[in-house]
Amino acid sequence: MNLFSYRLLTFITMPLIAYSGWKRCRKHKKQQQHNPELPDIPDCFRSRFGVNRQKYQTGGIWIHAVSVGETRSVFPLLTALKENYPNLPLTVTNGSTQGALQALQFSPVEIQHQMLPYDYSFAVKRFLKQIKPKLVIMVETEIWPNLYQACQEHNIPIILINARLKESSFKAYQKWGGKVITNALNQTQFIGVQFSADAEHFKALGAQQSKIKTLGNLKFDLTLDKHSTENANHWKAEHNLTTRPIWVAASTHAHPNSNELSQSEEHIVIEAHKRLLKSEPNALLILVPRHADRFEEVAKLLDDNQLHWASRSKQQPITTSTQVYLADTVGELMLWFAVSDVAFIGGSLVPFGGHNILEPAALNKPIISGEHFANLKALFEPFIDADAIRIVKDSNALADSLYQIIQNPQQAQELATKAHNCFTQQTGALQRTIEYIKPLLK
């Protein structure tokens, strides 16, 4: 595919793209009606076409992160940029409303924000004219040919950081990307990849070897709240949980090929918990679905399984009979990791591809995952090689691993220590990235 074909295709599909974006923004407005504490996303839909009513500071740095995980991964970067360039405004864009909420609610520094303009020349050029950035930073796998082309035309340096290409994305780019992707990659100043496997993938797509830098994963450079343990202990004491075994099932998913709740990851997790309760009747599961729009159906699943459960969003108390705590809020995952004795990482017992295991590792927690972690294979491999993570295939194996870890504190600590050591050995990506950015901002 060349740039003309890409532009023609995106023009033809504009109504579908616009409708999808409009639905997401309308959904956010409805969520605000139920939860007025949610921040507004200014000009949520119209900004997708470069139209908004904000007055931007110009001459700063534009950072784009598509969704929740990518947004949280750049928080340390935002802090470092503000420390190094205190007079430059930071503009953050997101591709999803959930990512936008993360940025607006939890950014560690002051930012300007809007949704990412769709990749139409008129939209991206309009936005570039509004903010006049000195540097554009794209996070992970955000390759937008019209945006990259516009940056080149306006002599604005653009970089791709924390870059990764999971196998499915790599094959799709190989099959359909062609020249338009190769040209976009070579319009960057550099591509900071996470792992050597990612470097090989970008090279195979036509990126110049000299542009590819293996810098590591920014998510390893977590900035933990120094009060996280204190806050966790306070929360446990407040709810009389100091003596109860607690495990968290984080970022759980529906089955990607089925709408049936019986096929969901939550169903597998609940089955494991029911089995665990037979030997550990005092155990508490903190269940954290990945997507907010599934909170209600997961609540129904808990009812169908006749479990005693309480809801975080409804501020229901946890009693001695509570078996499951539904964490139906956004942005509190680190708290749930901190209060737990064991962390199960979702997206891995259904064929989704896995999720980030670094946060519980940084907090020194034993980690369990399912077998479906192909999206993050390069991240998982050092942990697997170090025997720092348990991999399970089904609800029975999950329940057995949970029981073994709960019953053997020494074994649990050894597993946690290995995970934490594996985490600390791979930090430093943030500083390496900053060093490559400095010459571009002189």
Known catalytic residues are 70
Residue by residue, what is the 3-state secondary structure of the chain? Answer: CCHHHHHHHHHHCHHHHHHHHHHHHHHHHHHHHHCCCCCCCCCCCHHHHCCCCCCCCCCCEEEECCCHHHHHHCHHHHHHHHHHCCCCCEEEEECCHHHHHHHHHHCCCCCEEEECCCCCHHHHHHHHHHHCCCEEEEECCCCCHHHHHHHHHCCCCEEEEEECCCHHHHHHHHHHHHHHHHHHHCCCCCEEECCHHHHHHHHHCCCCHHHEEECCCHHHCCCCCCCHHHHHHHHHHHCCCCCCCEEEEEEECCCCCCCCHHHCHHHHHHHHHHHHHHHCCCCEEEEEECCHHHHHHHHHHHHHCCCCEEECCCCCCCCCCCCEEECCCCCCHHHHHHHCCEEEECCCCCCCCCCCCHHHHHCCCCEEECCCCHHHHHHHHHHHHCCCCEECCCHHHHHHHHHHHHHCHHHHHHHHHHHHHHHHCCCCHHHHHHHHHHHHHC
Separation of first and last alpha carbons in the chain:
36
φ/ψ of 163, rounded to 5, equals -70, 140
In the sheet that 90-94 helps form, which strands lie side by side, from edge to edge? Answer: 112-115, 90-94, 61-64, 135-139, 158-163, 191-193, 212-214
Burial of 317 (0-12, 13-18, 19+ CB in 10 A): exposed
- Using alpha carbons only, what angle is made at residue 158 by residues 152 and 163, rounded to the nearest 5 degrees? 135
Decide if 217 contacts 429 (C-beta within 8 A): yes
Which residue matches tokens 């607690």? 246
Crossing angle (nearest 10°) for helices 395-407 and 265-279 = 40
